[in-house]
Amino acid sequence: MYPVLFKIPIFGGLTISTYGALVAFGFLMGILYVTHEAKRIGEDVGIVMDLVFWLIVSAIIGSRVYYVLVVEPSAVLKDPLVLFKIWYGGLVFQGGVIGALLVGVYWVKRHKLPLWKYMDLFAPAIPLGHFFGRIGCVMAGCCSGREAPHAGWYTLVFPADPASFAPPGIPLYPAQLMDGVSELAIFFGLVIFKRWKKFNGQLMAIYMIAYAIVRFVVEFFREPGSRNMIYGWFSAAQMVSLLMVVFALWIWIRNSKKERLEEKI
């Protein structure tokens, strides 16, 4: 692990975290993919970049709001602005997806753009960016797995580090890597499959189903204290995953009839 990338000797010492740098790099890689794909399918790159800006802002705010409402709901009563204090940390990927989805749909509809075509444009970029974010989690020790029954080739053992969030010296399931590698596989799968897609919205539906399955399974290997259980059965993330599958199936059923392509793009 490597929680601190480097420090800049200004303003009393400015620390650049490896997690933050990798999340930013993930956004960059997603943007590069989207701009390349927009050119390929003939969409206005300038318009796409305007949308990217609002998606990034809404994703960051959405990830923070989700975290506060699920993990620290009582904090809202004391200070409602805590929902937007992203510098406090506490960001949840699923909240970012929900925030970006809501704002993205509104923005695309307002500008009278093809909604489902744009969803497919952005679908592969989501797991690509998420992959780098999960590597950042490994570097910071956050979102760690639960303790494994014994040390093995597949376990992670984090060293003692004041900047780390993981318990040191204990073999843990590699939950971050399980999620991250799966995200990379989803990205490549979507890139390959897009040649054969039959209707607009299909790539987004596939992404949502694939990610929901991955997250549902990986949750069982995460540290129990970070899972935010609901009625002692499933975590909040698993419940959201189930809703993602339902929404994805609705997209598939609806769009397979209304958004069919006459030719491949």
Residue 264 has pLDDT above 60, yes or no: no
Average the pLDDT over 1-16 and give the result.
70
> Does some domain include residue 228?
yes
> Does some domain include residue 220?
yes
Q: Look at residue 111 and give its three-state secondary structure.
A: coil
- The residue range of the domain holding 74 is 4-258
The mean predicted confidence, pLDDT, of the chain is 86
> Does some domain include residue 197?
yes
Burial degree of 34 (CB within 10 A; 0-12, 13-18, 19+): buried
> Does some domain include residue 253?
yes
Whole-prediction pTM: 0.86
Cβ-contact 134, 183 below 8 angstroms: yes
> Does some domain include residue 265?
no
Q: How confident is the model at residue 3 (pLDDT cuts 50, 70, 90)?
A: confident
**Helical ranges in the chain per DSSP H:** 18-41, 45-71, 74-78, 93-110, 115-122, 125-140, 175-193, 202-218, 236-258
Residue 90 has pLDDT above 70, yes or no: no
As for how many domains the chain has, the answer is: 1
> Does some domain include residue 168?
yes
Largest CA distance in the chain: 61
> Does some domain include residue 264?
no
> Does some domain include residue 106?
yes
